[in-house]
Amino acid sequence: MREQPILQVKNLQKKFGEGCQHCLDPEIRQLEKNFCPYCGTIYAVHDVSFDLYPGEVLGVVGESGSGKSTMLQGLYFDIELAAGEVYINEPMLASQNVLTLSSQQKRYIRNYIYGMVYQNPLDGLKMKFSSIGNIAEKMIAAGSRNVGNIEARSKALLEDVHIPLRRMKEEPRNFSGGMQQRVQIAKALSNNPPILFLDEVTTGLDLSVQASVLDLIKQIQRELHISMIVVSHDLAVIRMLADRSIVMLNGTIIENGLTDQILEDPQHEYTQQLVYSLL
């Protein structure tokens, strides 16, 4: 019997702008990279479909502006997608396109099923609240009302991500970028979400911190069997984390398959260029 995907994504669309007679019809559309030269409408995500299986790490590679983050923010309901279907293999959400649910139900999914680590910690953390408070927020949102339990779980998570407990009451704005990123990871993991989104988690971190954050993600995946979507433009990160990868260019998927296969034998012109430019 074949395994059921935990997350099914079908034909996601996102455009910024109204569109015009030259670009609204996909048949005759003539885009310059991903934008229409006549009206300036950007087709950020165009017809993206993929499946995510339980316990799997899916890498998403592509250059800046290829629609990786937009797609992820759409999946996490931070931005509204224009069209498409997303199915989550959870009993209570069976065969429902989660993009069409009410904002309360979407919030439920964010609190219980999804975890998100943003590229910029400012998006994922409240900088005026303590680190332990930031982790607690997600548990409170999921209905936990017991300070003892919340505190114990937050402390365990902070230890997991190697943040000294003596700094737990400090605000993350006092932390270095790597530490902020690790607080975000702890927060994202607080409710044991089955699906975790990681958006450029190591970009901008120094090499030793990068290594420890990657180690941590690898360890989480091994121990908790969380399914992850890892967005990165860094092929080394993708090579280390992802089992399967998709390559995006100008808002569409141009190649997908096993990560090793893509890196060893790239088919598409852009992927070839990407792989060969790897130092």
Which positions lie near another protein, rule CB under 8 A? 103-104, 107, 126, 128-130, 132-133, 136-138, 140-141, 145-148, 150-151, 169
**In the complex with another protein, which residue's Cβ is closer, 146 or 273?**
146
Minimum CB distance to another protein, residue 102 (Å): 9
Minimum CB distance to another protein, residue 130 (Å): 6
**In the complex with another protein, which residue's Cβ is closer, 35 or 175?**
175
**In the complex with another protein, which residue's Cβ is closer, 24 or 140?**
140
Minimum CB distance to another protein, residue 180 (Å): 18
d(CA 257, CA 157): 33
Minimum CB distance to another protein, residue 202 (Å): 28
**In the complex with another protein, which residue's Cβ is closer, 29 or 169?**
169
**In the complex with another protein, which residue's Cβ is closer, 20 or 147?**
147
CA dihedral 199, 172, 191, 189 (to 10 degrees): 40
Residue the block writes with tokens 């799997």? 56
Minimum CB distance to another protein, residue 7 (Å): 23
DSSP letter for each residue of the chain: -PPPPSEEEEEEEEEES---TTTSSTTT---BTTB-TTT--EEEEEEEEEEE-TT-EEEEEE-TTSSHHHHHHHHTTSS--SEEEEEE--GGGTT--GGGS-HHHHHHHHHHTEEEE-SSHHHHS-TTS-HHHHHHHHHHHTT---HHHHHHHHHHHHHHTT--GGGTTS-GGGS-HHHHHHHHHHHHHTT--SEEEEESTTTTS-HHHHHHHHHHHHHHHHHH--EEEEE-S-HHHHHHH-SEEEEEETTEEEEEEEHHHHHHS--SHHHHHHHHT--
**In the complex with another protein, which residue's Cβ is closer, 138 or 244?**
138
Question: Closest Cα partner for 162 from 173, 176, 149, 147?
Answer: 176
Minimum CB distance to another protein, residue 109 (Å): 13
Minimum CB distance to another protein, residue 135 (Å): 10
**In the complex with another protein, which residue's Cβ is closer, 140 or 254?**
140
Minimum CB distance to another protein, residue 179 (Å): 18
**In the complex with another protein, which residue's Cβ is closer, 52 or 135?**
135
